[in-house]
Structures are given as structure tokens and as C-alpha cells.
Structure 1
Amino acid sequence: MQQDTNFSGYYWKRPLTLNELLAEAEELELGDDAVPTEIVIFPPENDDITDEDSGDEGNVDINNLPGGQLGDNAEFMDMAPPAEHNSVDESMVPYYGRHPTKQFIRGKPIRWGYKIWTGTNRLGYIEWFEPYQGSNTKLSDEYKPLEMGASIVLEFVDALKASQKDMNYHIFFDNLLTSLPLLSELKSRGVKGTRIIRENRLSKNCPIVTAGEIKKQPRGNFDYATTEENEIVVCKWHDNSIVNIASNYSMVFPTIQVKRFSKKDNKVILVPQPHIIKIYNENMGGVDRADQIISLYRTCIRGKK
């Protein structure tokens, strides 16, 4: 695109994007009588390739975007306040166009868009992120043989360690990201980890009651077990549903009393809550808080072809 006006001295010889064209128009210091009456947008010349014709619009690799559009994780980490407690979760960027990396996640506030693996501190400051691109997700070669969830957590840990080596980090993540062996790996690196775990990820040899058995017990009951080396503790808690949680640092005791509404008694009752659940609830919501803050300042750009 080129801009031409009816007055001399203002003619751009290189192709301009729409954003550049608007920015240039705003910066013109002209009198009221010198304001251009019209802006002529020329079609691209033969040697100019538009986004629609380049063939890159179907490329699954988000890293092929022009330089700087994704930012740099190092800049995020340099500006982040040092924090012990950090969390990793998925975040969604709304997008309703056509692109191979667009995702649909049922139950999310933003169901359609790009999925971004995001690491934040407890207050919601984004320290690290990586766009999800399936098998093309940008990961270190040493982590590619691992499952996706473990690779994402370890990439985030490496970024934290590169920024503050002496910080005693504690990472929180949900059941989507890992299995129990990752907690042992974090323990060997001197990093604390706490996570929700799915029932089918528990070992069949884990000596705690099953979900069916604990459902028959009063609300607030829990059972737990530790490994022989006391490296990992696994706890099952009967709340509104059955919660399985594991950690290589946090302990079950001391318990606290939390309020829950009982339909049977039609009143609020107090039920015991393990300490490991309390720590997880206090520190896991960093990514959700970041999503909330971003939603307040999100700029919507609607493209037309």
C-alpha cells in the first residue's frame, strides 16, 4: 500500500501497512487548510506479496510470525518481581478466524483461540509463555522425548533458574500437565512441586483408599501415603468431589477448618482441609488472575480480507 496526497512533501515510496498508515496520518503537523482531503491506497505491485498470497497463512508454526510479535520471555523474566511461588497453566487468546493452531477447549471462558502455556507468579505477573503448536511446540531437544506436560513444566523451571539461581522455587500445576515422576525430577533439581493428579495417574500400588470408598465416608475425610524415601506425598480428600493431590514438599498436617454448605443439614458446616490443599488453593490461581487482568485491557482487532 502507498499513500499519495494532493500536497507536496508527503509521499511514502515504500509499501505501508494499515497501522503504519494510520500512525503517519496522526503524526502529520498540518494546518486546518492543509489537511489532505483523501488518502489513496494503491494495490500491491507485482513484486509485493500480500499475506493472503504468500502461503504462510496456513503455516502451523507460530514462530514464523514477523520478528518481535511474540515478544521475548527474557524481557518478561527481567521485569518480574522475584517470587517463590509460581504456577503453570494454559491460557487462551481469543481468535475466531482460520488457523491450524486454533483450539477449542470446552468449559473455558474463552473457548476458541490460541492456547498459550503460561507461567506466572502468585499475583498473576506473566514470567514465561510458549504457544501451543502440537508437535511443533518450541521445546528443548532434551525434553522432546518426554510427554508435553512434563516438558512445559521443566522449560518454565529452566527459565526461572536462569533468572534467579538461588531462589527456592515452588511450582504449582494442575492434572493436565504431569504424572508423578515429574515431582521426583523436580525434587532432584531442588525445586518444590505441588499438583492435582487424576485418579488414573495414581499407581495401582498406591496404598490409599479408592475414590469409591472415600465417597462413603463423611465429608472432609482424607487419606494419604508417602513414598518409601518420603520424597512424595499423595493425599485424597473428600470435598464436593474427590480431590487427589501430590507434592514433593508440602505436608498433610496441620489441617484447618473450612466452611462448606451441607444440603443434608441445610446449613454451613465446618470440614477439615489438609494443609497441602490449602497451599495449593492459595498459589495456583496466578494464570487465571493474569487472564482476568488481560481481559480488562484486551484490544480487539477485526481483520477483513
Structure 2
Amino acid sequence: MQEVNAFIGVLMFWEREKDCHNVMITEAITRDRFEYLFSNLHVCDNQQLDQGDKFAKLRPLFTLLNKKFMENFSLEEMHLVDEAMVPYYGRHSCKQYIRGKPMRYGYKLWVGSTKLGYLNWFEPYQGASKNISENFSELGVGAGVVLEYAQALRKEWPDKKFHLFFDNFFTSIPLIEKLTDCNFYATGMVRENRLKDISLIDSKLIKKQRRGSYDYAKIVKQYNCSKVAR
């Protein structure tokens, strides 16, 4: 039940402080009753767990939530793929520490959302050795996350136009090419070490040029880029 403990913050509704106390909840159920029901909550059969899934006990709930998120969000073109933290200070093999984040300890989730922050899809991080999907394992974890979300969108809306945005953890040339093949638009920052076969001005040199200077290239085929302008 370690996963369930991540939601223990809901017990704050029964505290006496005005910024926590929730009359609607406290008048409907006592704290002890809530704790008893919550401690006996199961969403799957423990005899049929996927041993390779560290969140197997909650997988049916995650699947249902993703389904409902997709069914109820307002359809739009722009979407964001990123990571999010769920605070948790107990013991679990998937608990992460990310320096510099507002919530440094907890579960890391891969998320897909609309531009206004509505969550459409999520998947808990289980370690670098476990990709989001074996279908995209050759592209790496970051690209696999983006493609998994793209696949979920395309499954619901086969003919709609979508534009995905993501940061430099996810971005790579093979990922952009794969999304293009799947009829997605994509925008992302990219790390310099992922552009080894693309001829661009060295970052140390361009930093010395006047403000507003830039360089870019146009991809004409995989791993082969022709310079367009400077």
C-alpha cells in the first residue's frame, strides 16, 4: 500500500486550521472511517499482477484515469509533453530526488497536457532501464514518452492535426522525423550533443556574435542536413 500513502495529504481536510479544514468532507465521513476504507482499497487482483510493472497494483486505476482524461478534454491542436512530480517521502523503489525542483522528493510522472495545463495522459516513471513502450525503445526513453502520448492522441482522433512541444530532455532528430511520419507537428529545444551530424556554428562562437545572431539547417533526409541560411 505504499503507493496509496502518496495520497495521505487528503487527511488534512479533517484538521482544525481554516486553510485545510473542509466542512463538506468532514460532515460526510469521519477521518477514521475514511482511513479504514482507504486502507482496504484495491483496484486489481493481487494474484494476477504484472511482475515487471512496479505500479501493477494501481495500473487499472491509471488506465481508467487516462481513458477518462482523453474523453473529457476540450480538443485543441497545441499539446505539451513534460514531467511532473507527485510529492512522497516514504519508501519506494520508484521514488525520485530531483535537485532544483519545487517538489524534490516523490514520484515522477511523464505527462501530456493541453497548453492550459489540462492533463490528458500520464505514466509513472519506473527507471531508465524501463522504456515507456518497447515499440520505441531504440529511440530512448524521452522520445518513447513523446511517441506514446502521440499514439494515444492518434488513437482517439485519427484525422486531427496536433502540434507537440517538449524540452531538450525529449528532443532529438529521429524523434522529429518519426513524428513527421505520423503526421504530427513538433517543436522542441535540442541539446548540442544530439546534433553531431549537423553542421551548425559552434555554440562558443555564436555566443560571441551580436545579440540576435542565429544559425539553422534544413533536414532533407535522415542524418543529412543542408545549410539554408545564416
TM-score, with length taken from structure 2: 0.71
Larger Rg: 1
Which residue number corresponds to residue 129 of structure 1? 122
Instruction: Give the conservation status (yes or no) of the 8 Å contact 1:77–1:127.
Output: yes
Instruction: Give the conservation status (yes or no) of the 8 Å contact 1:183–1:232.
Output: no
Asked if 1:226 corresponds to 2:215, the answer is no
Cα deviation for residue 208 of structure 1 reads 1.6
Asked if 1:62 corresponds to 2:58, the answer is no
After superposition, the Cα gap between the structure-2 partners of 1:194 and 1:228, relative to the gap in structure 1 and judged at 3 Å, is same
Instruction: Give the conservation status (yes or no) of the 8 Å contact 1:93–1:113.
Output: yes
Instruction: Give the conservation status (yes or no) of the 8 Å contact 2:73–2:118.
Output: yes
After superposition, the Cα gap between the structure-2 partners of 1:140 and 1:229, relative to the gap in structure 1 and judged at 3 Å, is closer
Q: Which amino acid aligns with 1:188?
A: D
Structure 2 SS opposite 1:127? strand
Match of 2:202 among 210, 223, 240: 210
Cα deviation for residue 162 of structure 1 reads 1.1
How far apart in 2 are the matches of 1:84 and 1:234? 30
Cα deviation for residue 178 of structure 1 reads 3.3
RMSD in angstroms over aligned alpha carbons?
3.7
Which residue number corresponds to residue 132 of structure 2? 139
Asked if 1:113 corresponds to 2:95, the answer is no
Q: Which amino acid aligns with 1:228?
A: V
Cα deviation for residue 60 of structure 1 reads 7.1
TM-score, with length taken from structure 1: 0.54
How far apart in 2 are the matches of 1:191 and 1:75? 23
Cα deviation for residue 67 of structure 1 reads 4.8
Instruction: Give the conservation status (yes or no) of the 8 Å contact 1:131–1:137.
Output: no
After superposition, the Cα gap between the structure-2 partners of 1:189 and 1:69, relative to the gap in structure 1 and judged at 3 Å, is closer
User: RCO (CA 8 Å, sep 6+): is it higher in 1 or 2?
Assistant: 1
Q: Quick check: which one's helix share is greater? A: 2
Instruction: Give the conservation status (yes or no) of the 8 Å contact 1:149–1:176.
Output: yes
Cα deviation for residue 138 of structure 1 reads 7.1
Instruction: Give the conservation status (yes or no) of the 8 Å contact 2:220–2:226.
Output: no
Q: Which amino acid aligns with 1:186?
A: L
Which residue number corresponds to residue 79 of structure 1? 72
